[in-house]
Amino acid sequence: MVEGKNGYTPPADYRAPDFVRQWSDSATRGADRIEQEREQRTRDGERDAAQRAQDGQRALEQSSQDAQRAAGQAARDAQRAAEQLARDEGRAATSTAARATYDLDRSGEGAQRGLAYSHGSANDALLRRRAQLPTQAQAQAPSSAPAPPAGQVSSPGPAPTSPSAPQPTTPGVHPTPAVPKSRAARGPAAKNAAHLGQPGLGPGAAVFAGLAAIVAAFLGYWIPVVIAILFSMAPIKRGFASGAKGIAAAILAILLLASAAFVQVVQVLPGAFGSDETEVSTEPTPVGLEGDPIESGTLPEFTLQAGNPVGGFGEANLDVVLPEGDGQLAVLQVDDKVGGLSASMYSGDQVVEFQYLERATGGTARWLINTQAAFEQSFGDDPTSLVVDRITIMSEGEWTAEILPVSVLPPFDVALDGVGPGVYLYTGAGGEASITSSDYGNFAMTVHGSEFDYITAEIPEVEARAWPAGPFVIEVVEATKIDGTPLPWSIQVVSP
């Protein structure tokens, strides 16, 4: 035989009570359940991350395809606009050339008619002058000329020159005055003709350059964008000097080049416009009861002590200060909003207790904690290695936790009626306790008194036990009907 602690030597046929083995099994199952839940959360997180990565890749590919389609459509629209603009410019140039030719023809005909009219007028005046000269000479000859001497024959004068035949004129033509050559060459037709002869590309070339710059910017090539901007300067300037359509084409080219430059700047300097290439999670950030955000990846830490309830969302670590000392029982009360609540009790890094409650809606749960440390201290052993100093709460929503002394439990001294599990405080003088029920089911209860006892019964079988004087805590661990619903039960204590 081996001597135990404090000089106590257990008998050879000693077997640990059933409730100790059940507590140990419960703690083992709790640890396994925690590990399984953590593995499940890890797998869920990996699946969510992979799904988000796939969604991001698909969104990126879709954005690239949309950008390519938009660029292709813009290129086709711009090409059609440029072709239409080229046709309009061709028609305008043809009309301007025809107008210039017509103006030149009119100017030439006017000059010819003016010359003909001037020439005809001069000829008419000259002929009239020549016709008047012989008549005047004959009228003045008898009075002024001396008579020739007798017998002298006067020599006849030179024969009058016969007038030259008048030049024929075109009847019915009224010529206009002649237009000076220097003045005729200064009209708008001459200016249009001079403009048509200037070398260089029109604003349509700048539109094509702008489209090419946009495509290059989306593909990430900045050198073609710069070349397109430099190439388009002269055609844009020429467009502003060529009329309304040229001005419109020049403005379109400027907008296309500016868009290409903007896209290129956004790609080269993504942080300059507040964009971030890192993936942004669309999941809501968990918050506590006060609205404070809870950082993902690290559990929030709270200090849980009597008179100071704490609240949170989801999972959290609670550093526990027991209200009545390390070797005494305490009550953990948790109010949750959703349901599906669990609490893992740690002593250092070791799980010593585990409680789990699964229900469809929220409510209030009361659990007895620090039971193993209290059990060790009742035998006079050191409970330090089993004292609950940390609790991990896991819930699907908001919760509020509070640690309380056992004095807040519902007291009774003679009779107690209940339904399902619960924790109560016996304050009577002791005696024989009988446990009964009006329905069939399983019942299990732990007595945390000076003598620990674990009672199991198949109700409605009556189970009777001797109880010491209170106060002590009784914990109804299980009270379930055959169909799984809560079992009503009754305890009667008869004093001797």
The answer to whether residues 343 and 19 touch, using CB atoms and an 8 Å cutoff, is no
Nearest partner of 204 among 244, 260, 248, judged by Cα:
248
The pLDDT of residue 100 is 61
Sign of CA dihedral 83, 86, 88, 94: negative
Nearest partner of 175 among 120, 229, 221, judged by Cα:
120
The pLDDT of residue 494 is 92
The pLDDT of residue 182 is 42
Q: Is 339 helix (H, G, I), strand (E, B) or coil?
A: coil
The pLDDT of residue 24 is 65
C-alpha–C-alpha distance, residues 437 and 477, integer Å: 15
Count CB-CB contacts under 10 A for residue 213. 29
Sequence-distant (≥ 6) Cβ neighbours of residue 80 within 8 angstroms: none
- Please report, in angstroms and rounded to a whole number, the separation of the first and last CA atoms in the chain: 39
460 upstream amide cis, omega within 30 of 0: yes
CATH of domain 298-406: 2.60.120
Burial grade of 476 (CB within 10 A; 0-12, 13-18, 19 or more): buried
Count CB-CB contacts under 10 A for residue 9. 10
The pLDDT of residue 475 is 92
The pLDDT of residue 319 is 93
C-alpha–C-alpha distance, residues 160 and 183, integer Å: 45
Count CB-CB contacts under 10 A for residue 340. 16
CATH of domain 409-496: 2.60.120.1300
Nearest partner of 225 among 239, 236, 214, judged by Cα:
214
Q: Is 442 helix (H, G, I), strand (E, B) or coil?
A: strand
The pLDDT of residue 146 is 46
The answer to whether residues 493 and 432 touch, using CB atoms and an 8 Å cutoff, is yes
One pLDDT digit (tens) per residue for the chain, 496 residues: 444 445 556 666 656 566 656 666 666 777 777 888 778 888 888 888 888 888 888 888 888 888 888 888 888 888 888 788 878 777 776 777 666 666 656 655 655 565 555 555 656 666 676 666 555 555 554 444 444 444 444 444 444 444 444 444 444 444 444 444 444 444 444 444 344 444 567 788 888 888 888 888 888 788 888 888 888 888 888 888 877 888 888 888 898 888 888 887 887 765 444 444 444 444 455 444 445 554 445 788 889 988 899 998 889 999 999 998 888 899 999 988 877 788 899 998 888 888 877 766 778 888 899 888 888 887 788 888 889 999 999 888 889 999 999 999 999 999 999 999 999 999 999 899 999 988 889 999 998 877 778 888 887 878 888 888 889 999 999 999 989 899 999 999 998 7
C-alpha–C-alpha distance, residues 41 and 45, integer Å: 6
Q: Is 168 helix (H, G, I), strand (E, B) or coil?
A: coil
The pLDDT of residue 391 is 93
C-alpha–C-alpha distance, residues 214 and 149, integer Å: 116
The answer to whether residues 262 and 225 touch, using CB atoms and an 8 Å cutoff, is no
The pLDDT of residue 409 is 93
C-alpha–C-alpha distance, residues 236 and 437, integer Å: 99
pTM tops 0.75, yes or no = no
**Within this chain, domains 298-406 and 409-496 share the same CATH topology:** yes
383 upstream amide cis, omega within 30 of 0: no
C-alpha distances out from residue 248 to 51, 82, 147, 214, 241, Å? 49, 11, 96, 19, 11
C-alpha distances out from residue 56 to 69, 211, 276, 445, Å? 20, 29, 13, 55
The pLDDT of residue 362 is 75
User: Tokens representing 66?
Assistant: 């949309």
Alpha helices in 432-485 (DSSP H): none
The pLDDT of residue 135 is 58
- The residues that bridge with 357 in the sheet, in sequence order, are 341
The domain ranges of the chain are: 55-132+173-269, 298-406, 409-496
Give the β-pairing of 390-404 and 310-320: antiparallel
